Structure 1
Amino acid sequence: MTKPASKDFRHRTPTDLKEILDGDAALKDRWDALTSLARNEWICWMTSVKKAATRDTRLARLRKEVDEGKKRPCCWPGCPHRRESARKWVDA
């Protein structure tokens, strides 16, 4: 059984995502209907990239796919910050 790396591994909602949600009531409703774990997966997936262009692409994809009703990012193994092996990064 894998233990969480931190008691609170949830990521904060980034400003650029907040702005999109604030500007689109229907998307905000769909976002709010997701579980907190699902929202965390989307945020981690979107922000875990190195290049700004990739992040922008993922933000656009997040917007489109959540709007279409997707619950989680496709082909994403999950937030690595939840795993025990990530503790050294989270607790540092």
Structure 2
Amino acid sequence: MATIFPHGTVHDAPDDLQDAVRADPSVFARWKALTPLGRNEFICWIDDSKQPATRQRRIERTCDEVLEGKKRPCCWAGCIHRTDKAPGRWQQAVLIDQKNKRRR
């Protein structure tokens, strides 16, 4: 029987991330110890990847950073998909920039 995989508050962990986290029991233990919001930030950061190579690098980096004790990805504006709080200034800038890119 497989152990239940803990997801984020908004995002569910994709299979490739689950496989990578489960591959190392130490990483999995630390992943389970993260808050749902912390897990959500890592998942959103990975899902935001546009290229498969970037996605793979982010999955590997997530495993490394979780093992180091980091609680959230560095240099990430944060999940813009959460509805329980208004976006911060940095998130608003990202959203405005994405909207402007779509108009071009």
Short-chain TM bin: 0.7 to 0.9
- Is residue 44 of structure 2 the alignment partner of residue 68 of structure 1? no
| TM-score, normalization by structure 1 | 0.77
1:20 aligns with 2:20: yes
Quote how far apart the aligned CAs of 1:60 are.
0.9
**Contact 2:20 2:59 (8 Å CA) reproduced:** no
What pairs with 1:49-68 in structure 2 (closer than 5 Å)?
A: 49-68=49-68
C-alpha distance in 2 between matches for 1:54 and 1:22? 20
Looking at structure 2, the residues matched to 21 and 60 of structure 1 have their Cα atoms a distance apart, in angstroms, of 9
Q: CA deviation at 1:21?
A: 2.1
* 1:82 matched to 2:52: no
SS at structure 2 position matched to 1:60: helix
- 4+ runs of 1 displaced by more than 3 Å? 83-86
Q: In the aligned structure 2, how far is the partner of 1:82 from the partner of 1:23?
A: 29
- Which residue is 2:102 aligned to? none
| Aligned residue in 2 for 1:90 | none
Partner amino acid, structure 1, of 2:14 = P
Correspondence for 2:47: 47
CA distance in 2, matches of 1:71, 1:39: 8
Provide the alpha-carbon RMSD of the alignment: 2.0
Structure 1: runs of 5 or more not aligned: 1-8, 87-92
Structure 1 position 82, deviation (Å): 1.3
